[in-house]
Amino acid sequence: MMIFRKISFFIAMAAVAASSLAGQETVSHRSAAEDNFIAGLRIAHGEAGAVAVPDTLERIDDTLFRLPGAHYNLRSINASTYYMIGADSVAEPVLSAEYPAESMANLFILPVAQAFHTPMTVTVLKHEPGEKETVETTVGDFVEHCRQEGCAPFWGVEKISDGELQGALFLYNAAEGYDHVVKITCRPADVFGGEGAVTARASLYVPTKNVKTLFNDDNQVECPDHEKYEVGKK
């Protein structure tokens, strides 16, 4: 989809173009907000939580089920999570390279233990041109740090090619009117094999009104929820 082709350019330019936090703060305040976020992320340490699975799930195929979540501007960018029914007839979150798109969704949306054991390198592209800073953390700690700010995560996959997945994570703060916009790259076979890491490029505190310009060319597109991936394709 065109929306994903815009993400890399948008992340590089959004902070530069947006001179204020939620359209009101000064540049110096935004710099302080970025610095505070990074400092907090360096010491963030979250914990896995219980995943409550409802009795009713939406069947995708013979083995895969979905709990539909809210979407963010497009149906393909959402908070849906995915499950398989175990031998004891209990639904468990999918965390397998066999289902890369669905498993990565669970890693970002659910407080599963694996999220807190999956390394994540986050490069923050600051709003001051040319400034950036890199933090080594985990997927779980990064998402939990954003949740503590009041952000809700929404995830979408651009493509999976030659074993590499590219996608976008939007961490939306409805109360404050901003987003953290994150371009994600990883190799799911390595991530779920216990040896891989997630690479992220992030623009912080982007006013939501600016983020919505990403969707101007796509806001009439209805993307069927599961057509982009072949379920079960490795």
CB-based contacts of 233: which residues, under 8 Å, 6+ apart? none
Query: Is 226 inside any structural domain?
Result: no
Alpha carbon distance 203, 64 (integer Å)? 33
The reported pLDDT for the residue numbered 50 is 87
Alpha carbon distance 65, 48 (integer Å)? 22
Query: Is 6 inside any structural domain?
Result: yes
pTM to 2 decimal places: 0.84
The one-digit pLDDT tens for each residue of the chain (234 residues) are: 455 555 655 555 554 444 444 444 455 788 899 999 999 999 999 999 988 877 889 999 988 999 999 999 888 899 999 999 887 788 999 999 999 999 999 999 999 999 999 999 999 999 888 899 999 999 999 999 999 999 999 999 989 999 999 999 999 999 999 999 999 999 999 999 988 999 999 999 999 988 887 766 543 333 333 333 333 333
CA angle 200, 204, 210 (to 5 degrees): 115
Alpha carbon distance 232, 62 (integer Å)? 11
Domain of 37 in residue numbering reads as 2-215
Asked if 115 and 140 count as a contact pair (C-beta separation under 8 A), the reply is yes
Strands 198-207 and 119-125 come out as: parallel
What are the φ and ψ backbone dihedral angles of 138, each rounded to 5 degrees?
Answer: -125, 165
Strand partners, 165: 160, 186
Domain count for the chain, please give it: 1
Query: Is 160 inside any structural domain?
Result: yes
Asked if 139 and 103 count as a contact pair (C-beta separation under 8 A), the reply is no
Query: Is 230 inside any structural domain?
Result: no
Query: Is 76 inside any structural domain?
Result: yes
Query: Is 221 inside any structural domain?
Result: no
Query: Is 143 inside any structural domain?
Result: yes
The reported pLDDT for the residue numbered 14 is 55
Both tokens of residue 51? 């995943």
Alpha carbon distance 119, 229 (integer Å)? 25
Query: Is 222 inside any structural domain?
Result: no
Alpha carbon distance 151, 60 (integer Å)? 28
The reported pLDDT for the residue numbered 25 is 47
Strand partners, 178: 173, 207
